[in-house]
Amino acid sequence: MADHIKIRKAPGTWVVRVGGAVIGESSDALELSEGPYPPAIYFPRSDLAMAFLEPTDSTTRCPYKGTANYFSIVTKSETIEDAAWTYETPIDGAAEIKDHLAFYLTKVTVEQL
């Protein structure tokens, strides 16, 4: 893993909300800090309402984490395209984030309780 990436257990309990509804809550979230970017909170899949998350065909590649796959959030009233990402098979140095999802803060609310 590159020196500019740090993964640690996120302190406390974290939630992800869409339109006021909680779709995930975790005290086992991870915080990934990467260079100058704001930290991303990665939620274990087991702590998310995966029924609201639909895989998309979108992918991106990070030389430090691997290939990211994306999910849209589908609610009764809207679909939020590519709102979350995950690394299904992360590079060895980022293996901790396997089976976790992170969310775009411009599309959902992620906050510490």
Q: For residues 80 and 107, is the Cβ–Cβ distance under 8 A?
A: yes
Q: Which fold would CATH assign to domain 5-112?
A: 2.170.150
The DSSP string of 51-67 is GGEEEEEEEEEETTTEE
Query: pLDDT for 73-104, tens place per residue?
Result: 999 889 999 999 999 999 988 999 999 999 99
- Spatial separation of the C-alpha atoms in residues 10 and 27, rounded to whole Å: 8
- Spatial separation of the C-alpha atoms in residues 108 and 101, rounded to whole Å: 13
Domain boundaries, the chain: 5-112
Percentage of the chain modeled with pLDDT above 70 = 97
pLDDT band with cut points at 50, 70 and 90 for residue 1: very low
**By three-state DSSP, how is residue 94 classified?**
helix
